[in-house]
């Protein structure tokens, strides 16, 4: 069977059209069963005429997001004349909103991708999470909005990245009995440090699977229950010393843990230092 061919046409980047098209295609076929070609930044009808011509020759269909009504109407009419299947992804939503809000759309391509302050804050937070991941540089502790601490395999890294997309600067520190934690942990407000607790049974299961995925023996000390208990005991001692809040992540998805943290930091006492002086 020949691959299906889809052209994605846009007067901006074309990410929206591609995402929606792929979402629809997933209901019919695997990703390797079609070829998708993106035609971005369309500014004139000649490009659209060429897209329809090639789609006709190859038996392809077209999905498009065009905010310019002239370009949008031309493509629809040209595709109809050439009997090419063509789907307007954005147009019906724009028309419905014009009726609802009683005003015309701005008709400016790419508004959603404008680099605003929120975008830069998110990028900065993501870069921060990468730079200060896994205790790589303890200086990040003092600059972070949140510091996650926990033994290995408590989802510190994915949680840091998830929170970074919420524009929070997150550093994370692995807790290992043989390694002293950075002194900066004891200098920040206690509630900005969040401990990630996990049951020994769950951790044992996770670590065994991790060793197997690496092609290693799952009886290694990394997954040994005695070693795990030693690490968890050390973690508990450290948590008592810091006096920070703790979340049990044993049976929680990253998103669930992140929501708990987001709710915590929205409390009025968040920026207060509750350490005993």
Q: Name the maximum alpha-carbon separation found in the chain.
A: 79
Handedness of CA 99, 103, 108, 110 (dihedral sign): negative
Annotated binding site for ADP: 150-157
- pLDDT tens digits, one per residue of 18-72: 989 999 999 998 888 999 999 998 989 999 999 999 999 999 999 999 988 899 9
148, 194 in Cβ contact below 8 A?
yes
Annotated binding site: 150-157
Distances (CA, A) of 86 to 7, 11, 53, 126, 248: 9, 16, 12, 38, 51
Buried (b) or exposed (e) across 24-61, using 16+ Cβ within 10 A? ebeeeeeeeebebbebbebeeeebbeebbebbeeeebb
Residue 39 CB partners (closer than 8 Å, separation 6+): 7, 8, 9, 10, 14, 47, 51
Percent of the chain with pLDDT over 70: 93
Which DSSP string corresponds to 185-231?
Answer: GGTS-GGGEEEEE--HHHHHHHHHHHHHHTT--TTSGGG-HHHHHHH
User: What's the CATH code, domain 117-265?
Assistant: 3.40.50
Sheet holding 61-65, edge to edge: 34-39, 4-10, 61-65, 86-88
146, 168 in Cβ contact below 8 A?
yes
User: What's the CATH code, domain 4-113?
Assistant: 3.40.50
Q: What does residue 263 show for φ and ψ, rounded to 5 degrees?
A: -65, -35
- pLDDT tens digits, one per residue of 162-176: 999 999 999 999 999
Asked if pLDDT for residue 136 goes beyond 70, the answer is yes
CATH topology of 4-113 equal to that of 117-265?
yes
Q: What is the pLDDT of residue 271?
A: 57
What are the structural domain ranges in the chain? Answer: 4-113, 117-265
Asked if pLDDT for residue 274 goes beyond 60, the answer is no
Look at the pTM and tell me if it is higher than 0.85: no
């Amino acid at each position: 069977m020949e691959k299906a061919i889809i052209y994605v046409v846009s007067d901006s980047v074309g990410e929206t059209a591609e995402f929606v098209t792929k979402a629809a295609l997933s209901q019919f076929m695997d990703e390797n069963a079609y070829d998708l070609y993106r035609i971005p930044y369309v500014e004139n009808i000649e490009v659209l005429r060429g897209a329809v011509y090639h789609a006709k020759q190859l038996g392809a269909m077209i999905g498009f997001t065009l905010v310019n009504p002239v370009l949008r109407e031309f493509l629809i009419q040209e595709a109809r004349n050439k009997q090419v299947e063509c789907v307007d992804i954005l147009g019906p939503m724009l028309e419905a909103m014009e009726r609802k809000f009683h005003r015309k759309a701005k008709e400016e391509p790419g508004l959603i991708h404008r680099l605003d302050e929120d975008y830069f804050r998110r990028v900065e937070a993501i870069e921060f999470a990468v730079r200060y991941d896994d205790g790589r540089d303890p200086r990040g502790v003092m600059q972070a909005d949140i510091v996650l601490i926990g033994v290995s395999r408590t989802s510190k890294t994915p949680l840091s990245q998830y929170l970074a997309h919420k524009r929070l600067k997150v550093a994370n520190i692995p807790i290992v009995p043989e390694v002293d934690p950075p002194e900066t942990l004891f200098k920040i407000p206690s509630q900005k440090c969040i401990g990630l607790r996990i049951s020994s049974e769950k951790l044992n299961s996770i670590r065994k699977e991790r060793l197997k995925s690496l092609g290693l023996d799952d009886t290694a000390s990394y997954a040994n229950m005695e070693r795990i208990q030693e690490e968890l005991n050390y973690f508990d001692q450290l948590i008592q010393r810091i006096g920070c809040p703790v979340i049990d992540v044993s049976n929680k998805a990253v998103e669930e843990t992140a929501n708990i943290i987001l709710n915590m930091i929205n409390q009025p006492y968040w920026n207060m230092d509750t350490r005993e002086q």
